[in-house]
Amino acid sequence: MSIDKSGKWWIGTSVDDLREYLEAYSADNYCIHEFRPAKCKCGGETFELLADDDEGCAKRTCTSCAIGKFICDSEEYWSDATPEQWKCIECGSTSANIGVGFSLYEDGEVRWLYVGERCANCGILGCLAGWKIAYSPSKQLLERA
C-alpha cells in the first residue's frame, strides 16, 4: 500500500489504497469508519462500474467472469437510475478495483457510503458515487460491497 500524491491525481498500487483515499475524500463530510474491497465469487478483483450518484446506486461487473452485482442496496433504486459507466480520466480504461467506504452512526448502523475506484491500468484513485442510507437496520450493507 503506497499512494503517490505528487502529481495531479492520487495513484494507488492496490485496492487497499482506496481506504486512505476515501478517508481523505470524506474528511470534510461523513468520515468513513469501515472499508470493504469488492471481490467477486470467482476471485476476481477488477470490475466495470456503472453508477448513478443522484439516485444513489451502483453495479459492478467482474472483468474475469462477467457476473454483475449491485453494490449494497443499489438494486432497490436501479429502475429509477440513469447510470454512467466509470471510465478512467487519464487512460480511458473501464477496468477498476472497487472499494466501499462506510460512515457509521454511533450504534454501528450505516449513515453514508462512498463507492471508490482504482484504475486497474494506471492506478488513479477516485470516487464516482456516494449516498445517504436513511433506514435501519443497515449493518448488513457492510458485507455487500
Q: Which pLDDT does position 134 carry in this prediction?
A: 92
Asked if 82 and 52 touch (Cβ cutoff 8 Å), the reply is yes
Distance CA(89)–CA(129), nearest Å, equals 15
Cα 39 to Cα 37: distance, rounded to the nearest angstrom: 6
pLDDT tens for residues 72-110? Answer: 999 999 999 999 999 999 999 999 999 999 999 999 999
pTM, rounded to two decimals = 0.94
Q: What is the pLDDT of residue 141?
A: 96
Q: For residues 3 and 21, is the Cβ–Cβ distance under 8 A?
A: yes
Q: Could you tell me the three cell numbers for 57?
A: 446506486
> What's the confidence (pLDDT) of residue 8?
93
The answer for residues whose C-beta is within 8 angstroms of residue 45's C-beta and 6 or more apart is: 15, 37, 38, 39, 97
Is 141 strand, coil or helix?
A: helix
Question: What pLDDT is stored for residue 1 in this prediction?
Answer: 58
Domain ranges of the chain: 17-143
Q: pLDDT per position in the chain (145 positions), as tens?
A: 589 999 999 999 999 999 999 999 999 999 999 999 999 999 999 999 999 999 999 999 999 999 999 999 999 999 999 999 999 999 999 999 999 999 999 999 999 999 999 999 999 999 999 999 999 999 999 999 9
